[in-house]
Amino acid sequence: MKARGTDQDGHLRTFRWRSALVLGLVLTGAALLAARAVELQLVDRHFLMQQGDERALRVVTIAAHRGEILDRNGEPLAISTPVDSVWVNPKVLHDNLDQLPELARALHIDEQRLARRITSNLDREFLYLVRQMPPDQAARIKDLGIPGVYLAREYQRFYPAGEVAGHVVGFTTIDDRGQSGLELSYDQVLNGVDGEKRILQDMYGHYVQDVDTIRPPRPGRDLVTSIDLRIQYLAYRALKAAVQENKARAGSVTVIDCDTGEVLAMVDQPSFNPNDRDQLEPELYRNRAATDIFEPGSSVKPFIIAAALTSGLYRADSVVDTSPGFLKVADKVFEDEHDLGPINLATILAKSSNVGAAKVALSLPPELIWQTLTHLGFGQVTGSDFPGESAGILTNYTHWRPIGIATLSHGYGLSVTPLQLAHAYATIGSYGLDRPVSLVRVDGPVPGVRVLRAGVARSLIGLMQHVVDAGGTGTKAAVVGYQVAGKTGTAWKSFAGGYSTNKYMAVFAGLVPASHPKLATVVVIDEPSAGEYYGGDVAAPVFSSVMTGALRLLDVPPDDLENLPAATVVRVGVPP
């Protein structure tokens, strides 16, 4: 009996010892858990929250909307449309390479090429695969649910007018930064400031929800240009047809509002479509009207006559003897097509007499000619702020010699841009007030700086009207119902060492309506090669076509009622 009691006592002691041990272990574990909880909740709380945020929270960019470019009437020339770009985290995607074939098919990318891009960029956390996809296509990529594949919202530039306004508007890079034209010169105005927001994502990197906005995006401002898209289209269509018909190398048309200095149209050929980035080559997208210089030929003669009228040595009815039809200066002989004999200033312009213009120029102080040309804007940029605009070439009069003055009188020895030439004619059309050229719409009157006496400008406009009258060199520039003042120009193209004798620049520059000029327009056709090459035959018809439409669009009343077709004349008080 004693042995049995001893065994029971032993079992009891063992049980108590084991219970105490288990209880001690439980209490110790509980203490350790409590200590760990305290450590996690209090000591390491900040570190752990930071680590959690780094795994679940992301700061992403909110793309700012680039401002629109509009024509003067609110028609869009450049707008931004939402698109999505597909990007990946190579480190995450590398762990899911079994889904790479599906992704390659969806993106229409070669699987091997895609695999090389992923495996060669494992040190990066961001890699674009495809930029600027339509949202519906990008959504299908997202629906695949492949870890490490994400979408980023961006904006793609679209140009509704296409190549009609391509040279003026320009284009942006794929990152929506201005690259040429107005997109470049007004990039800081158009370009907004991207914002940032914090988002929550799951363990696979998929978007869950927005947490907060760190900085809201600031959209860019809209740019309202001076361009009238209706006139721009008229000029584009007429110029393109003329370049094709005359098999010309290039051409440009520039239209300026004489009252404000605004550029209503500026087109070039060959043109380009800024929506097609595959054809964006410098030779195509440079704006020839603002960047290319040329010797203007006889289109500069009105400015020589302006200097003559300013000098007081000549009046509008002054006569110059051009007999015997040629003039020798130093070792150079200047000729007219016919011996015109004694002619007045109007005939010098109407017949484009080289002898008459040279004699007038040689009789004037060189400084006066230089001052007149300088005041009219030659040898300096127009102030349009168009990127890459050329100042042209006009040497100081102190370097002139008689032979240089004679050649200058009919457009050689100086170089201008079409925009400069149009600006100079616009100054004449505003009766001697120089208004800065603007590619942005101007609201309200624009004060000008007087650079030519109003009486001189009015007389000059009257003289230039004879160029378009019967017997003048610019009859093809006539506009039905309107008086036109202008000047033709035909110049040999220069090259290193001299001038070509079979390559020409054909020019017509003019003002309408001549009674009170509203529009100054310059047409330049580069290297016409279909047979005709004179400015009056090649460039003047383009002027007529564009101005016929533009004057009607702007509702400018006719000033030549005598030559207006009877069916279009409505007399006050007489039933139609």
Q: What is the pLDDT of residues 141-198, one digit of tens each?
A: 888 888 888 888 888 899 999 999 999 999 998 888 899 999 999 999 998 777 776 6
CA angle 478, 482, 485 (to 5 degrees): 60
Type of residue at 55:
R
Q: Are 447 and 324 in contact (CB under 8 A)?
A: no
Type of residue at 143:
D
Kindly list the catalytic residues.
298
Architecture in CATH of 59-224: Alpha-Beta Complex (3.90)
Q: Is the dihedral of CA 324, 540, 388, 304 positive or negative?
A: positive
Architecture in CATH of 229-274+291-562: 3-Layer(aba) Sandwich (3.40)
Considering the chain, tell me which residue range(s) the CATH 3.90.1310.10 domain(s) occupy.
59-224
Q: In the prediction, which pLDDT does 97 show?
A: 78
Q: In the prediction, which pLDDT does 202 show?
A: 59
Considering the chain, tell me which residue range(s) the CATH 3.40.710.10 domain(s) occupy.
229-274+291-562
- Residue 571: band (very low, low, confident or very high) from pLDDT cuts 50, 70, 90: very low
Q: In the prediction, which pLDDT does 55 show?
A: 56
**What is the rounded distance in angstroms from the CA atom of residue 461 to the CA atom of residue 510?**
9
**What is the rounded distance in angstroms from the CA atom of residue 462 to the CA atom of residue 410?**
20
Q: What is the pLDDT of residues 396-442, one digit of tens each?
A: 999 999 999 999 999 999 999 999 999 999 999 999 999 999 999 99
Which structure tokens are listed for 199?
């988002």
**What is the rounded distance in angstroms from the CA atom of residue 188 to the CA atom of residue 205?**
35
Q: Are 451 and 310 in contact (CB under 8 A)?
A: no
**Whole-Å CA distances, 533 to 154, 160, 241, 338, 488:** 49, 35, 15, 19, 11
Which structure tokens are listed for 206?
């998929």
**What is the rounded distance in angstroms from the CA atom of residue 510 to the CA atom of residue 72?**
23
Query: Is residue 566's pLDDT more than 90?
Result: no
**What is the rounded distance in angstroms from the CA atom of residue 233 to the CA atom of residue 193?**
34
- Residue 4: band (very low, low, confident or very high) from pLDDT cuts 50, 70, 90: low
Helix (H) or strand (E) holding 137: helix 135-143
Mapped onto helix, strand or coil, the DSSP state of residue 469 is coil
Nearest alpha-carbon partner for 146 in 116, 175, 114: 114
Q: Is the dihedral of CA 145, 148, 153, 156 positive or negative?
A: negative
Which structure tokens are listed for 67?
């401002």
According to DSSP, residue 40 is labeled I
- Residue 575: band (very low, low, confident or very high) from pLDDT cuts 50, 70, 90: very low
**What is the rounded distance in angstroms from the CA atom of residue 107 to the CA atom of residue 130?**
8
